[in-house]
Amino acid sequence: MVLSALRDDALHILPDGYALRLSLPWIRSLPLAGLVEPEVRIDGRPLPATVQLGDRRVDPAALEAETRWWHVQDRVALHVTDAASPGIHEVSVSFRLEVPYLDGGPDGPLALPFFFTRALDTETSTTGVSRDVGSLA
C-alpha cells in the first residue's frame, strides 16, 4: 500500500498562487534532499514550483544542499505561482524520493518514482498535527 502525498487539506490559496503541502509517502523520515524533481499540474496545466522553507523559497534542484529532514508526520510546502482561484481543482504531483540507506545499484541510492492525482478543494481547512518542514526549528 502506498501512502498518499495529497491529503484532503493539501491545497491552499496564497496571495501570489497556491501552496501544495505534500505528505511523505514513505514509512520512515527522509532527508529533505531526497525530494527530487517535483512537478505540479493544476487543472492539467504544468506549473513551476519552489519549495517553501520558512521565509525562503528554494528551487527544488537546490534541495541537495539542505540538511533538514522530512519527518513522516510533517509536510513539504510547494509554492506554485499562478492566478489562483478558490474551489475544487484537479491536482497532480510527481517526484522521486531518494532513499539514502537503501542501495539502488551502481548509480546510487534507491530512487522511487511517485505520482499522485486527485481533486482538492482550496476551502478545506487544515487538520491534524502536521507542520511544514521549513517551519520547524
Residues 22-81: tens digit of each pLDDT: 999 999 999 999 999 999 999 999 999 999 998 899 999 999 999 999 999 999 999 999
In a 13 Å sphere around the CA of 6, the CA atoms on its Cβ side amount to 23
Query: Contact, 116 vs 85, CB < 8 A?
Result: no
Domain ranges of the chain: 11-122
- Which of 126, 128, 114 lies closest to 13 in space, CA to CA? 126
Q: What pLDDT, on the 0 to 100 scale, is given for residue 106?
A: 87
Neighbouring CB atoms inside 10 A of 93's CB total: 22
pLDDT of residue 137: 47
Q: What percent of the chain has pLDDT over 70?
A: 95
- Can you give the pTM of this predicted structure? 0.90
Distance CA 74, CA 134 (A): 10
- Which tops the pLDDT comparison, 129 or 37? 37
